[in-house]
Chain A
């Protein structure tokens, strides 16, 4: 048995005999799943948006002949935000303190301008600073879009009433003034009672064409209002809880924490147990020692990663979730778990060598794991420097590998790219850990 294998066997035995640590290892995936759920639910919660009514919105408004209940309309259009009515001062204060993420102000004269149908009234939106402001901006735009749609329906309905008058004739009113219209139908009947002549026939032809054209006015108006119709298909596929992303992040988070902790703690423990000198005097080289910790981290990552994937898979199968668990991709996931576990173990070994004591090493690993994970969660398009730093750490590559290995139709290119990243980072960290391991002898 090689020296690395002997040390690996020893570490596995030590781990097995540490019931508290083993319990944490088993409970950790469950805790991670809950945390991911909380984060996801937070991410999908409605942001709080202040509504400042400087126009004194009445309970109901009649626009283009249609009656709108203001509060009900606000409820209907604010599906993605939580609108709260505030005074201008309170809204300003809450925006500055971050209690609301945006302030939508209805300026004086808004309803009057809207009713006039000559100018478009303005809604003023002020957003908080920060990375979610773009998302809030989109949600407020969606709110205005929903309002516009309701108003468009009213306007189109109103316009169509005039078209109907032109077609069929009858009484109408405009800006409060009543009027009577003959209408194309009645005009046609009048012409039919008249002696035939080229002029009459020309007028009859015009009326026929105009009726045909006006019959399509409704569809044309709607098409003009919405050149592209957005149609949402019925919901299909997995819920977010079982999504590919959540599974990839749960795997990545779990093995990042475990591999860093185990490798850092177990390498520093060699010094705590005073065994490092005994090993270093020719029995086991420092390089072999580092590789043994890398192998330990990779092994534990493999076992727990497969356990998590199996748990997800069983839930998905029992729930009859669309798409099912891609069992045939499990061997590819195994490769990813070994590579990611190894690369993270190498980083953990580096931390352990730098910290030198098991307690310090474990603490350092816990402190380091959160920034590593959060850096990996920040989209590089949003904060490019976070993406650059994250590219130099294994977490984001591991998550991309898992996601691609499990769910991409053609995963090979991405898996190869991320696999090479993990191997490269692992080798760099092994080299650094080997150099730093000399500190353990001091």
Chain B
């Protein structure tokens, strides 16, 4: 990996939905081993920024740069999976689409890692927590170097939260990076190094967690 370029960067990337500018052009860089927390009130543009970084949305202005060969995993806020397929079938389908060499084995590994039911019942019948676990498991297919997580722990129990952050820590130790949106100050303190704060579609703060703590911006959002 080249240390001269960020793993992932938004270069003046912004997004318009109809007449509304959901995200004004922003500059954000994600570097090796980093954990970046996105904070801001509802509708601030966090999910839009994550979707732009993931490539799920095309920016209306600017662009998104990815270091060559980098794989990105994305878990949107609302689980993104097929409700009539089981957890295993969802994982196998997305494993094939991600180009996993052994889709069945990859699905079995993640089912076990996230303690998901392996039976054939549709994932639409799973509990909210299990659906979120499946959502996160799908984002890990293809062994991504960068994880983009949109409020990932909202529906998880404490044990699953701990497992998730442990997994993120392992990824960062291996040179990867995590970008996550959250409303939880404790998660920022424990799991982030830098913070990017958004408000009404504008990036109003970027800095370390300490700088964020000292700034007045935190009182506006968190």
Contact = CB atoms under 8 A, between A and B. Distances in A.
Interface of A: 1, 3, 6, 10, 13-14, 17-18, 273-275, 277-284, 438, 441-442
15 contacts: A3-B97, A6-B96, A13-B84, A14-B82, A14-B84, A17-B122, A18-B84, A273-B81, A273-B83, A275-B80, A275-B81, A279-B97, A280-B55, A283-B94, A283-B98
Contacts of B91: none
Interface string B8-40: 000000000110000000000000000000000
A18 B97 CA distance: 24
B57 interface: yes
A278 B56 contact: yes
B57 A10 contact: no
B145 interface: no
A277 B84 contact: no
Nearest to A9: B93
Interface of B: 17-18, 51, 54-58, 72, 74, 76, 78-85, 89, 93-94, 96-98, 122, 138
Contacts of A280: 55-56
B17 A442 contact: yes
Contact of A273 (B56, B57, B58, B82): B82
Nearest to A17: B84
A420 B36 CA distance: 55
Q: Which of A1, A277, A441 has the most CB of B within 10 A?
A: A277
A3 B56 CA distance: 17
A6 B58 CA distance: 24
Contacts of A438: 58
A10 to B, nearest CB: 6
Given A273-B80, A277-B76, A442-B18, 5 more contacts: A6-B93, A13-B84, A273-B82, A274-B80, A278-B80
A14 B85 contact: yes
Given A13-B85, A14-B82, A441-B58, A277 B97 contact: no
A438 B15 CA distance: 13
B66 to A, nearest CB: 10
Contacts of B96: 1, 6
A202 B30 CA distance: 131
Nearest to B96: A6
A286 to B, nearest CB: 10
Contacts of B138: 278
B76 A10 contact: no
Contact of B74 (A6, A14, A278, A441): A278
A275 to B, nearest CB: 5
A280 B84 CA distance: 20
B93 A277 contact: no
B132 to A, nearest CB: 12
Nearest to B148: A281
Nearest to A15: B84
B211 to A, nearest CB: 31
A277 B57 CA distance: 7
Contacts of B81: 273, 275
A274 B84 contact: no
B101 to A, nearest CB: 14
Given A17-B84, A277-B51, A283-B98, A10 B93 contact: yes
